[in-house]
């Protein structure tokens, strides 16, 4: 596949004629081969894609990777103890299979997606079999469906944590070793998947994020040293225009350290929170695009980075709207590739050019 203009034209043509995209895009389609060998993907929710054929077409055409935004979480699959509910997760897995997309299993252990009943029971009984039972349920069904799993999500807390680890129900009940233990338990049930630890707050030049980078590297070093089955590190990359400049030097250093430990990196939750939503739309979109360009320039220079997932496709569905009382489309945060009407913004083209569009389906 060739140059930038051609890719752009192909994709613009595709957008102008959505009917062409009804059929699943095939990896061999002319003009859709990613030049980078990396995957681009997005987080989606089963209910949102089920309700919107146009969104479905975009996700089918553009994504080589799918992350379930909520449907694989413990509080989605087993909201009530023993009341397993697989319908929506099954829909996501089927969507990915139909469209030849890889799935990121998100997420096995995350304090915030642990149902209240499980949190209480873990605190009360401190019985690791509760975790194993959950892993049996989710991995018993989806181990083979996903090529990567975020086994532990957001384990770092350098402000109120214990030696850099967040004081979650898991850390309190099972000690700091819970991360390694979770990786082993996941490996037993998903022998061929890549196992990840996924973390946020690692991008900016401030003391908190500096400490968080250090703590994450220490954790990963310890896991490697102890022989825990970790294959990669997920960097969430929730960018934020109010946080000042990206610490590009520190990001590069962190990625090189991770790569030096023989691990790969996925950018797992890219989006941009705006600092000033009163500016003209074109200015806002430029600021967002500039930030993503700066970020991608740094991370994609590192071969360990195998792909980029944005945390949603359209601003309409972004979690960043939580707390924003929308008085119209302009009030929404604009930090995802498509606007609320599914029109592409500059950052859409930036992602396609840098990472690859629907053709980024096949990892090398």
Helix 4-16 / helix 346-355 crossing angle, nearest 10 deg: 130
Nearest residue to 158 (alpha-carbon basis) of 110, 207, 228, 221: 207
Nearest residue to 122 (alpha-carbon basis) of 111, 138, 106: 111
Residues of the shown chain interacting with ligand XIL in the complex, contacts defined by CB under 6 A:
69-70, 153, 236, 269, 319
Residue 312 or 356 having the CB closest to ligand XIL: 312
CB of 68 to ligand XIL, least distance (A): 9
Residue nearest to ligand XIL as judged by C-beta position? 319
Residue 112 or 283 having the CB closest to ligand XIL: 112
The helix or strand, by DSSP H or E, that contains position 8, with its residue range, turns out to be helix 4-16
Residue 32 or 70 having the CB closest to ligand XIL: 70
Phi-psi region of 259 (alpha: psi -120 to 50; beta: other; left: phi over 0): alpha
Residue 79 or 319 having the CB closest to ligand XIL: 319
Q: What is the DSSP letter of 162?
A: B
Residue 7 or 73 having the CB closest to ligand XIL: 73
Contact predicate 281/334, CB 8 Å: yes
CB of 74 to ligand XIL, least distance (A): 11
* Residue 359 CA: distances (Å) to CA of 19, 90, 284, 307: 18, 24, 29, 12
**To the nearest 10°, the Cα dihedral for 309, 314, 319, 320?**
100
Residue 36 or 198 having the CB closest to ligand XIL: 198
């Amino acid at each position: 596949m060739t140059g930038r203009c051609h890719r752009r034209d192909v994709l613009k043509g595709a957008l102008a004629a959505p009917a062409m995209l009804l059929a699943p895009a095939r990896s061999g389609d002319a003009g859709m081969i990613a030049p980078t060998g990396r995957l681009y993907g997005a987080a989606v929710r089963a209910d949102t894609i089920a309700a919107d054929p146009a969104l479905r077409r975009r996700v089918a055409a553009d994504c080589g990777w799918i992350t379930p935004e909520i449907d694989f979480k413990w509080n989605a699959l087993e909201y009530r103890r023993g009341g397993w509910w697989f319908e929506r997760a099954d829909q996501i897995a089927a969507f990915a299979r139909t469209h030849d997309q890889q799935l990121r299993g998100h997420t096995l252990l995350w304090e915030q997606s642990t149902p209240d009943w499980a949190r209480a029971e873990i605190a009360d009984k401190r019985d690791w079999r509760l975790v194993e039972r959950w892993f049996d349920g989710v991995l018993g069904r989806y181990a083979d469906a996903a090529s990567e799993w975020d086994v532990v999500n957001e384990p770092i807390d350098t402000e109120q944590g214990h030696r850099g680890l967040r004081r979650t129900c898991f850390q309190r009940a099972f000690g700091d070793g819970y991360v390694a233990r979770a990786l082993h338990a996941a490996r037993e049930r998903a022998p061929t998947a890549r196992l990840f630890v996924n973390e946020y707050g690692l991008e900016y030049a401030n003391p908190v994020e500096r400490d968080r980078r250090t703590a994450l590297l220490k954790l990963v070093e310890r896991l490697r040293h102890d022989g825990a089955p970790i294959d990669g590190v997920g960097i969430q990359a929730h960018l934020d225009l109010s946080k000042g400049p990206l610490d590009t030097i520190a990001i590069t250093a962190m990625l090189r350290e991770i790569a030096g430990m023989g691990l790969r990196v996925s950018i797992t939750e890219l989006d941009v929170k705006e600092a000033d939503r009163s500016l003209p739309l074109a200015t806002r979109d430029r600021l967002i695009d500039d930030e993503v360009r700066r970020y991608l320039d740094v991370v994609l220079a590192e071969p360990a980075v195998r792909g980029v997932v944005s945390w949603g496709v359209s601003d309409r569905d972004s979690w960043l709207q939580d707390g924003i009382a929308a008085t119209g489309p302009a009030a929404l945060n604009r930090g995802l590739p498509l606007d609320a009407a599914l029109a592409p913004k500059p950052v859409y083209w930036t992602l396609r050019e840098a990472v690859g569009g629907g053709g980024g389906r096949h990892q090398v």
